A = this chain, B = another copy of it.
Amino acid sequence: MPATNRLAALASPSQAGKTRGGEANVERILDAALAVFAVDGFAGARIDAIAERAGLSKPNLLYYFRTKADLYLAVLRRTLDMWLVPLAEMDTQSDPVAALTGYVTRKLEYARDYPEASRLFAMEVMRGAPILNAVLENDLKRLVASRSALLTRWMEAGHLPRRDPVHLLFMIWATTQHYADFSTQVQALTGRTLEDPAFFAEARRTVLLAVLGRA
C-alpha cells in the first residue's frame, strides 16, 4: 500500500520493538484516540482522556506512543487506507454503472460505519493537511488522475453524462462524507441516521441519480 508507506516515511514510527501482548493495548489506544481526536481535534484532544478511554494510565499510554503527535500520526495512518482503497478498487468491475454504484455504496457504508474516521480525515484536511499533504499530492493525485481517465472514457462511451470527472469525484466525496461529518446537522434536521436502512437507501438513491443521471 503506497499511501501507508509514504505516510510511514513522514515520521518515524514511535512504537518499536514490542513483542509481548501490548499489541492489544495499541489497538485500544488507537480506537480511543480516533474517538477523541475526531471530536476535539488535535489541539483539543487531551491525552488523559484518550488514556482513560483506553483503560490505561497516561504514562502508560505515553509508553506506547512517545508523543501526542506520534499517536495522531498513527491514527491517521490507520485511517487513510479506508479512504483510498474503495477508489483504488473502483475499476475491478467492468460495467461503468455497476462500478460507480458500488463505489458510492461503499463510500456511504464507510460514512455509516466509520464516521469518526471520516471526521478525523476531514479535520486534518481542513487544518490545511499539514501531515497528509504529501499523500494528497502524490498517491491520491495519481489515483485521481487514473480514475479520471477511466471516467472520461465511460462518459465518451455514453455510459455517463459528460462533465468534468474530477468535479464528479468531489461531489461523490462531499455528499457521502457529509452524512458522517455533519451527522449532527443531519440528525437535527431529519432525526435520522445512515443506520436507518430506509434513510441509507434515500441517500444512496439521491447520489446515484446525481452521478448517473438516472435512478
- Point out residues on A near B: beta carbons under 8 Å: 39-44, 119, 122-123, 125-129, 133, 136-137, 140-141, 144, 161, 163-164, 166-168, 170-171, 173-175, 177-179, 181-182, 184-186, 188-190, 202-203, 205-207, 209-211, 213
Contact = CB atoms under 8 A, between A and B. Distances in A.
A134 to B, nearest CB: 9
A209 B44 contact: no
B168 A206 contact: yes
B164 A175 contact: no
B123 A164 contact: no
Contact of A185 (B119, B125, B163, B184): B125
Given A167-B205, A174-B178, 14 more contacts: A39-B127, A41-B41, A41-B123, A125-B184, A136-B184, A136-B189, A144-B189, A163-B206, A164-B202, A170-B206, A171-B171, A171-B206, A171-B210, A174-B175
A169 to B, nearest CB: 9
Give the number of times this chain occurs in the complex, counting copies. Answer: 2
Contacts of A122: 122, 126, 181-182
B123 A126 contact: yes
A189 B166 contact: yes
A166 B190 contact: yes
Contact of A136 (B181, B188, B202, B210): B188
A128 to B, nearest CB: 5
A186 B40 CA distance: 24
A136 B167 contact: no
Contacts of A44: 41-44
A79 B191 CA distance: 25
Contact of A181 (B126, B167, B175, B210): B126
Nearest to A144: B189
